[in-house]
């Protein structure tokens, strides 16, 4: 078979004769063969080729073919040969990237670095081009420089593997972040630097910088701070305010940074008029009640945004899910005034077709659906959807709750509401076996499930035994005993305890409780509780029992105390989540009374309070308080004890709360 080398393309050369002595003659391609393929299929090659079987191949077509194959980025070398009328393409594939690993990165997560490399075409499974290594260094250095680390060292290395694959390892030496030594704002005549920089994430070194890291320069942080600076002035009437330029000066050793922002304040503008236009849908005067911007006051962008958000929220709560309110300022530079026009575009009124739940593999749909305040077939309400999300969070069954409102295909006035949840462990089961010199062999069994079998009911079982104590507990709670949300719970417990061995007091105590608890929701946040129960405590004094306890028992003339008790409570819970709330409060007031016929008739009053404030993304402030007061409401019991000879031994009195009920 006659074989004629046609072309060979090398770096910097598009087309050259393979054999100088022979001249190229065009021919009609009868077939195409590709040699050298390892990972890429011949079919993929054919999709990029500008010629095919039956076409005539001349010098220009051959050049186009070679250029097209090189442009794919799959090959290090491409050659065209001819065997008769068969076009033979010989390629050398570039290796595939098997794995990319990072070593030494702490400040930037591996997934973020991987994302940066993917943006430049370097990712696992992609074709490797050695020229990309320089881009790796440039891209990752830029990422670290944006975080203020100018001494970073990036060292990529490549390890060849079998089957034309490579592993890439990127060694990172992050170095020390450059510290902000000075921040200067130039051009501010009305407000001092300290006022303007309040709330900035960028700061010079201070005693909390070790924790906040606010003295470490970051381009993203500076951009956010400059936006805060812009908002500061716009909220105070400086409509023409502008950050003219910024300078970031780095010391020669790349350890310190000096920041300078050049600003132009301009003049203060006042509001000349406020109007509401567009299709307001609801009565015009109701919309105007939401307007916080007033004629004659200093212009404030914040007030215009708050007003716009309030109007959107109002419309969103009556079905206008896609409403938009745009504050349009009409600036009169000559008179330094602004006319504000709130332009209302309600869009179409939307109904909710379906409410769906995803991610709830254990929790039943009905458990989640009963928490909904948005209903199917009713007008869309953003407030109802937000409240439904809060109620799901407060169940304690989910670590994440997200809401989507996709449009219904083929309809412009219907949406579905989809709650995507991520379930968390809502219970525990533990079995324990131990030994201590004090208590001997210790056995325990504990089962606590806040979402028993996905029903939303709570079940608790606990058993513990050792030499000095025994305890048995059984709890059950149904938060929706009725469809209206009336809850019912039961509690049974029994304990035997040698108090002396736990350094509490020197006596033996047996106790048991049986109680029923009911809850009636009044509002979204308020609940009234009522409980009834009976309990007993049997106290056995021993040698060394404190005399006040002995006297109390002797005054009543019995060692077993029965109590028929009831409790009435009111609770208000506005916390946004069951686990780790970030805002809201909890209050509870309760009055507990033992009924007539109990061994001791007394009452207890309780008050609990907790308030949560979000300080920043990672910090929540909690303040809490608990108060309690109790006393007997029956008359004191006085008893005179006599000796064997009939003389008075002592007089004992039982008054106030029983000693085992002192909170």
- DSSP annotation string for 267-324: ---EEEEEEEEE---S-HHHHHTT----TTSBP-HHHHHHHHHHHHHHHHTTT-TT-E
Strand ranges inside 131-229, DSSP E: 153-161, 165-173, 179-186
Q: How many CB atoms lie within 10 A of CB 297?
A: 13
CB 622 within 8 A of CB 610: yes
Give yes or no for residue 2 having a pLDDT over 60: no
What integer pLDDT is reported at residue 75 of this predicted model?
86
Q: How far apart are CA 356 and CA 366, in angstroms?
A: 11
- Taken as a whole, the chain contains a residue count of 663
Please check whether residues 213 and 341 belong to one and the same domain: no
Please check whether residues 402 and 443 belong to one and the same domain: no
Domain assignment of residue 645, given as a range: 427-654
Question: Which has the closest alpha carbon to 391: 257, 576, 621?
Answer: 576
* Cβ neighbours for 540, distance < 8 A, ≥ 6 positions apart: 507, 508, 509, 559
pLDDT band at 4, cuts 50/70/90? very low
Tell whether 184 is covered by a domain: yes
Residue 21 vs residues 86, 287, 581, 643: alpha-carbon distances, Å: 21, 89, 84, 139
Tell whether 259 is covered by a domain: yes
Question: Beta partners for 340?
Answer: 274, 329
Over residues 286-314, the mean pLDDT reads 95
Final residue belonging to a domain, choices 423, 450, 470: 423
Please check whether residues 416 and 458 belong to one and the same domain: no
Give yes or no for residue 438 having a pLDDT over 80: no
What integer pLDDT is reported at residue 354 of this predicted model?
96
Strand ranges inside 49-198, DSSP E: 56-57, 75-83, 86-93, 96-103, 153-161, 165-173, 179-186
- Tell me if residue 662 falls in helix, strand or coil: coil
CB 318 within 8 A of CB 292: no
Question: Beta partners for 538?
Answer: 510, 560
Tokens for 77, please give them: 């070398």
Q: Which of 425-439, 534-548, 620-634 has the highest mean pLDDT?
A: 620-634
Please check whether residues 448 and 542 belong to one and the same domain: yes
User: For the purposes of burial, counting CB atoms within 10 Å of the CB of 521, is it exposed (0-12), middle (13-18) or buried (19 or more)?
Assistant: middle
Q: Which residue has the tokens 């074709």?
A: 127
pLDDT band at 555, cuts 50/70/90? confident
* Cβ neighbours for 325, distance < 8 A, ≥ 6 positions apart: 278, 307, 308, 311, 312, 315, 342, 343, 344, 345
- Tell me if residue 434 falls in helix, strand or coil: strand
Q: How far apart are CA 92 and CA 71, in angstroms?
A: 14
Sign of CA dihedral 589, 595, 598, 602: positive
Over residues 408-435, the mean pLDDT reads 90
CA 366 centroid distance within chain: 25
Q: How many CB atoms lie within 10 A of CB 62?
A: 21
Final residue belonging to a domain, choices 423, 458, 485: 423
Please check whether residues 504 and 585 belong to one and the same domain: yes
Please check whether residues 434 and 576 belong to one and the same domain: yes
Please check whether residues 374 and 279 belong to one and the same domain: no
* Cβ neighbours for 140, distance < 8 A, ≥ 6 positions apart: 113, 116, 117, 152, 154, 170, 172
Q: How many CB atoms lie within 10 A of CB 468?
A: 16
CB 373 within 8 A of CB 386: no
Q: For the segment 611-652, what is each residue's pLDDT rounded down to a tens digit? A: 999 887 778 999 999 999 999 998 888 888 877 777 778 888
User: For the purposes of burial, counting CB atoms within 10 Å of the CB of 156, is it exposed (0-12), middle (13-18) or buried (19 or more)?
Assistant: buried
What integer pLDDT is reported at residue 17 of this predicted model?
37
CATH of the domain at 464: 2.40.160.50
Question: Which has the closest alpha carbon to 76: 131, 121, 123?
Answer: 131
Over residues 427-453, the mean pLDDT reads 84
Q: For the segment 161-209, what is each residue's pLDDT rounded down to a tens digit? A: 888 888 999 999 988 888 888 999 999 999 999 999 988 988 887 877 7
Tokens for 568, please give them: 């009435």
Helical H segments across 186-299, by residue range: 193-196, 209-212, 219-234, 284-288
What integer pLDDT is reported at residue 147 of this predicted model?
82
Tell whether 662 is covered by a domain: no
Tell whether 143 is covered by a domain: yes
Q: For the segment 360-397, what is each residue's pLDDT rounded down to a tens digit? A: 999 999 999 999 999 999 999 999 999 999 999 999 99
Query: Which DSSP state fits 407?
Result: B
Please check whether residues 45 and 125 belong to one and the same domain: no
**pTM of the prediction?**
0.71
CATH of the domain at 358: 3.10.20.310
Please check whether residues 77 and 225 belong to one and the same domain: no
Q: How far apart are CA 27 and CA 32, in angstroms?
A: 13
Q: For the segment 444-465, what is each residue's pLDDT rounded down to a tens digit? A: 899 999 999 999 999 999 999 8
CB 158 within 8 A of CB 171: no
pLDDT band at 425, cuts 50/70/90? confident
Number of domains in the chain: 6
Question: Beta partners for 627?
Answer: 607
Please check whether residues 110 and 71 belong to one and the same domain: no
CB 277 within 8 A of CB 291: no
Percent of the chain with pLDDT over 90: 51
What integer pLDDT is reported at residue 504 of this predicted model?
56
Please check whether residues 499 and 512 belong to one and the same domain: yes
What integer pLDDT is reported at residue 203 of this predicted model?
87
Please check whether residues 231 and 150 belong to one and the same domain: no
Tell whether 62 is covered by a domain: yes
Final residue belonging to a domain, choices 54, 74, 93: 93
Element counts in the chain: helices (H) and strands (E): 12, 31
Tell whether 233 is covered by a domain: yes
């Amino acid at each position: 078979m006659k074989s004629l080398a046609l072309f060979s393309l090398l770096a910097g050369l598009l087309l050259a004769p393979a054999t100088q002595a022979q001249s190229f003659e065009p021919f009609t391609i009868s077939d195409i063969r590709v040699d050298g393929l390892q990972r890429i299929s011949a079919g993929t090659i054919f999709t990029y080729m500008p010629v095919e079987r039956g076409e005539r191949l001349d010098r220009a077509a051959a050049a186009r073919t070679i250029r097209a194959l090189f442009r794919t980025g799959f090959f290090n070398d491409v050659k065209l040969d001819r065997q008769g009328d068969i076009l033979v393409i010989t390629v050398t594939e570039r290796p595939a990237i098997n794995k990319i690993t990072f070593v030494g990165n702490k400040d930037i997560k591996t997934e973020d670095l991987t994302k940066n490399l993917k943006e430049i075409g370097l990712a696992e499974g992609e074709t490797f081009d050695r020229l990309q290594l320089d881009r790796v260094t440039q891209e990752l250095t830029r990422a670290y420089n944006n975080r203020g680390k100018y001494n970073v060292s990036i060292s990529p290395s490549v390890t060849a593997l079998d089957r034309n694959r490579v592993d890439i390892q990127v060694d990172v030496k992050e170095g020390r972040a450059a510290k902000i030594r000075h921040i200067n704002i130039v051009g501010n005549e009305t407000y001092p630097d300290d006022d303007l920089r309040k709330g900035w994430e960028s700061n010079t070194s201070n005693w909390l910088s070790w924790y906040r890291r606010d003295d470490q320069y970051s381009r993203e942080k500076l951009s956010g701070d400059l936006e805060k600076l812009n908002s500061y002035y716009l909220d105070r009437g400086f409509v023409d305010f502008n950050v003219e330029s910024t300078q970031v000066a780095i010391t020669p050793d790349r350890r310190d940074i000096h920041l300078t922002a050049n600003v132009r304040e301009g003049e203060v503008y006042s509001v000349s008029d406020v109007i509401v236009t567009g299709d307001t849908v609801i009565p015009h005067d109701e919309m105007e009640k939401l307007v916080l911007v007033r004629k004659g006051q200093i212009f404030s962008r914040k007030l215009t945004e708050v007003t716009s958000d309030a109007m959107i929220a109002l419309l969103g709560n009556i079905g206008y899910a896609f409403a938009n309110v745009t504050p349009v300022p009409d600036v009169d530079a000559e008179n330094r005034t602004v006319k504000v026009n709130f332009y209302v575009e309600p869009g179409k009124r939307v109904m909710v077709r379906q409410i769906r739940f995803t991610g709830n593999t254990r929790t039943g749909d009905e458990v989640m659906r009963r928490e909904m305040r948005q209903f199917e077939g009713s007008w869309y309400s953003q407030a109802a959807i937000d409240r439904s999300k809060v109620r799901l969070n407060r169940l304690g069954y989910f670590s994440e709750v997200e809401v989507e409102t996709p449009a219904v295909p083929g309809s412009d006035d219907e949406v579905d509401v989809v709650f995507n949840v991520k379930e968390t462990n809502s219970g525990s089961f533990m079995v324990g076996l131990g030994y201590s010199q004090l208590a001997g062999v210790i056995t325990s069994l504990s089962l606590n499930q806040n979402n028993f079998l996905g029903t939303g009911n709570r079940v608790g079982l606990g058993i513990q035994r050792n030499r000095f104590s025994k305890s048995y507990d059984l709890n059950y709670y149904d938060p929706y005993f009725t469809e209206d949300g009336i809850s019912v719970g039961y509690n049974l417990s029994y304990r035997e305890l040698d108090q002396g061995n736990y350094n509490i007091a020197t006596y033996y105590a047996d106790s048991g409780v049986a109680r029923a608890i009911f809850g009636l929701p009044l509002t979204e946040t308020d609940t009234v509780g009522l409980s009834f129960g009976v309990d007993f405590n049997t106290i056995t004094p021993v040698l060394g029992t404190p005399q006040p306890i002995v006297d109390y028992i002797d005054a009543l003339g019995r060692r077993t105390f029965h109590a028929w008790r009831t409790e009435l409570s009111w609770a208000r819970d506005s916390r946004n989540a069951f686990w780790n709330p970030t805002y809201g409060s909890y209050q509870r007031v309760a009055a507990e009374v033992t009924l007539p016929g109990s061994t001791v008739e007394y009452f207890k009053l309780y008050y609990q309070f907790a308030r949560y404030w979000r300080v920043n993304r990672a910090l929540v402030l909690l303040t809490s308080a608990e108060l309690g007061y109790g006393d007997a409401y029956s008359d004191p019991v006085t008893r005179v004890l006599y000796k064997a000879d009939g003389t008075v031994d002592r007089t004992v009195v039982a008054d106030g709360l029983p000693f085992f009920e002192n909170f």
